[in-house]
Amino acid sequence: MEILFYIFFAFVAYKIYVSLYFKSEKFNAIKSSVEQYTKNCNDLNDHIEDLKSSYADIRSFDYGERQLYDNSNFKMKRRKWREEAKSHRTHHCSSSVLKNASNQPFKYLCKYFDIKITEETLSIFEQVLNNFSAAEQGKILLKNERDSIVSSISNSIPLLIRCFSRERVGQELGFNYIDLSDLYFPVYTFQFVSAGGNSSSKCDIKLDVQNLDKFVRYLSNLVKFRNSIAGQRALMTSNLREKIKSRDNFSCKICCLSVAEEKNLLLEIDHIIPLAKGGVTSEENLQTLCWKCNRSKGTKIF
């Protein structure tokens, strides 16, 4: 019991020590010294969250609302009926459709989630791919930048706090939470539930960066491209993104900032003439911009 008392006393004493330290003038001085860097990281974090939410929200056909009542005289549990997913990203189907969807996911995604095979649709998914790719790169660059800032002032922070309250240091400095998960990638599901309600199976199609890249190529093979001045239209694929960055020497075409000057700089690919104003994905219509210039440019042409 005596040992437990000392452990509890040490724990309470440490909590008081930490609380007092983060309210001290010394820590506030450290916080002020990195305030602008913290703000830049938080602005980038907000931008990445905006990129994540820019996908095209496709959904299954609306077959209407219903209420299901099981008035059977037999005591069947039909548990899979109760577990049946009710979501606009879930298509309830027969076992044969489920099997076909697992063999040809993109074909059945288009067919049962009402994705029209047009150049406009292709442009939309190219932009989604562009935004998701930037978000995935941005998450890593943002974490590296935050860690670099915290590391630069770590020698000014007491060893005990560095060892046991590392996460709180970032919070007290003012860094917002960085979501490194991939939960924002939309998942579309084909689900089969047996007539008896006792068995089920499903096929998930996750539109992450890798699958979106393949989906854009799939759509491109089905769409008849219109000819641009420069010739055939290009595709906004991961390879094209890197090609444009390399062509532009990994530098922003507006402010000229480059990764050589700022190693954790997030570079994005911008349509000079926006898709919404009739622009197409071609090398001549693409440029490299840093995330700040791209966000301020919006749909303007320059």
What is the structure's pLDDT at 80?
47
Mean pLDDT score across all residues of the chain: 85
Over residues 53-98, the pLDDT tens digits come to 887 666 655 555 555 455 554 455 555 445 555 678 888 889 999 9
- pTM equals 0.82
User: Where does 71-158 have alpha helices with state H?
Assistant: 79-83, 95-103, 105-112, 119-152
pLDDT-based confidence at 231, cuts 50/70/90?
Answer: very low
Burial class (CB in 10 A: 0-12, 13-18, 19+), 267: buried
pLDDT over 50 at 128, yes or no: yes
Mean pLDDT of 262-279: 89
- In whole angstroms, what is the distance from residue 92 CA to residue 99 CA? 13
Place of tokens 């994540």: 52
Delimit the domains of the chain by residue range: 35-57+79-296
Percent of the chain at pLDDT > 70 equals 83
Over residues 117-127, the pLDDT tens digits come to 888 888 889 88
pLDDT over 60 at 183, yes or no: yes
Span between the terminal Cα atoms of the chain, in Å: 73
